[in-house]
């Protein structure tokens, strides 16, 4: 039911925003256009009242100063109609294309890309934790609840509690359960990535819709006698150009880069989960820490892997009295 509501809401929202872009006055959407309209009205009033030339020149100088200011330059590119057509239209299409609940969490999906990904430090912590616990298991020592609680990685901590501390789950079940967790994480992550990529494709399309709307508005500004409403032409041009700009910027600077960042974070997390899975299996089999280290070290980044191997060789040399 919610998905049907989301589809209907997306259709109504998309159509409403396009209509809004057509009927909403340009000077109430773009501050530069507002200032331009006020300048034209004031100039016309001064001419009608036959004001002194000094007043007219002062008005023109004031408007020129606004045009040349940094605020005037920025205000040319700020347009409410264009933003709503592109951003709102992209979100409306997302409501139609995806489940209502997922579409409502789109902002949360974007925010996830700003989270810190798994660093080299996280891989190193898992590596040392598993090796340390392998040594205890190989010596037939119990892993205490305090040691498990001290593990920083939450996935490793939970799975140690469920599989190793209890020691009732078979190796095959550990393999199956953890792989299922990894697959589900992959599936949920790809849902988020697909939504961001869809919005990245939709934004330029709605930018083109805004461009068509702006061009039609420009044509409507031309009178039958061959004259033209300058403010109307500028308003239509602003919508036509700025919507295209917004569409490209939102797509290439926000949605698609964030989708790529989210994919990289997902890949790093999956690799770490695979490393944890291997470590759990070694713990279950009570393998020697040296055996586990040879396998787990390949999950470390090359520079960190080289450093760890050098440290282990140095420690081995000290142990042998070399």
pLDDT digits over 272-298, tens only?
999 999 999 999 888 888 888 888 888
| Residue 261 falls inside a structural domain | no
Tell me the mean pLDDT in the region 184-210.
90
Q: Give the confidence band of 322 by pLDDT, cuts at 50, 70, 90.
A: very low
pLDDT score of 227 more than 60: no
* Whether 39 contacts 117, CB under 8 Å: no
Within this chain, do residues 20 and 154 fall inside the same structural domain, yes or no?
no
pLDDT at position 222 is 62
Cβ atoms of residues 271 and 186 within 8 Å: no
Q: What is the pLDDT of residue 320?
A: 44
User: Is residue 10 domain-shared with residue 157, that is, in the same domain?
Assistant: no
Question: Could you tell me if 28 and 168 lie in one domain?
Answer: no
> What is the reported pLDDT for 182?
93
Residues 300/124, Cβ–Cβ less than 8 Å: yes
For residues 208-235, give the mean pLDDT.
Answer: 68
The rounded distance, in Å, linking the Cα atoms of 104 and 91 is 9
The average pLDDT across 267-271 equals: 91
Rounded Cα–Cα distance for residues 254 and 92 (Å): 17
DSSP state of 143: P
Same domain? 299 vs 158: yes
Using CA atoms, how far residue 240 sits from 113, 145, 218, 317, in Å, is 31, 64, 9, 72
Distances (CA, A) of 271 to 37, 54, 115: 59, 74, 17
Structure-block tokens of residue 4: 């049907």
Q: Residues 248, 249, 251, CA angle at the centre, nearest 5°? A: 65
pLDDT digits (tens, 9 = 90+) for 101-110: 778 887 777 7
Is 191 a member of any domain? no
Q: Which residues contact 199 (CB under 8 A, 6 or more apart)?
A: 90, 91, 93, 94, 106, 250, 255
Question: Strand (E) positions, 102-246?
Answer: none
- Alpha-carbon torsion 94, 96, 97, 100, what sign? positive
The verdict on 277 and 154 lying in the same domain is: yes
- If 0-12 CB within 10 Å is exposed, 13-18 middle and 19+ buried, where does residue 136 land? middle
47 and 166 in one domain?
no
Structural domains in the chain (count): 2
Chain position carrying tokens 């309209």: 37
Q: Is the domain of 124 the same as that of 107?
A: no
Q: Which residue has the tokens 């990904």?
A: 117
Q: Do the domain assignments include residue 127?
A: yes
In a domain, 227, yes or no: yes
Does pLDDT of 159 surpass 70? yes
Domain of 222 in residue numbering reads as: 2-113+198-253
Calpha distance 105→115 (Å, rounded): 16
Check: CB of residue 282 under 8 Å from CB of residue 126: no
pLDDT value of position 46: 83
> In the predicted model, what is the mean pLDDT of residues 246-275?
91
Contact 269, 210 (CB under 8 A): no
Distances (CA, A) of 11 to 131, 168, 176, 295: 56, 53, 43, 53
């Amino acid at each position: 039911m919610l998905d049907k509501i989301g589809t209907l809401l997306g259709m109504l929202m998309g159509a409403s925003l396009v209509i809004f872009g057509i009927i909403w006055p340009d000077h109430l959407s773009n501050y530069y256009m507002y200032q331009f309209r006020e300048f034209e009205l004031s100039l016309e009033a001064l001419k009608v009242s036959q004001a002194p030339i000094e007043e007219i020149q002062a008005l023109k100088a004031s408007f020129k100063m606004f045009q040349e200011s940094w605020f005037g330059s920025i205000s040319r590119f700020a347009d409410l109609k264009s933003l709503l057509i592109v951003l709102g239209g992209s979100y409306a299409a997302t409501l139609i294309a995806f489940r209502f609940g997922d579409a409502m969490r789109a902002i949360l999906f974007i925010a996830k890309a700003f989270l810190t990904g798994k660093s080299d430090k996280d891989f190193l912590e898992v590596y040392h934790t598993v090796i340390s616990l392998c040594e205890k298991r190989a010596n037939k020592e119990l892993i205490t609840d305090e040691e498990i609680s001290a593990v920083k990685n939450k996935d490793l901590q939970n799975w140690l509690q469920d599989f190793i501390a209890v020691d009732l789950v078979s190796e095959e079940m550990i393999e199956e359960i953890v792989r299922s967790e990894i697959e589900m994480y992959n599936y949920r992550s790809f849902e988020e990535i697909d939504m961001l990529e869809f919005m990245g494709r939709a934004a330029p399309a709605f930018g083109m819709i805004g461009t068509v709307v702006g061009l039609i508005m420009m044509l409507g500004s031309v009178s039958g006698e061959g004259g033209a409403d300058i403010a109307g032409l500028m308003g239509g041009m602003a919508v036509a150009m700025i919507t295209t700009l917004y569409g490209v910027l939102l797509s290439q600077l926000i949605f698609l880069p964030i989708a790529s960042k989210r994919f990289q974070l997902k890949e790093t997390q999956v690799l770490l989960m695979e490393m944890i899975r291997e470590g759990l299996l070694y713990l279950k089999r009570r393998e020697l820490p040296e055996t586990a280290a040879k396998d787990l070290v390949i999950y470390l980044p090359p520079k960190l892997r080289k450093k760890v191997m050098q440290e282990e060789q140095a420690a081995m040399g000290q142990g042998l009295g070399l």
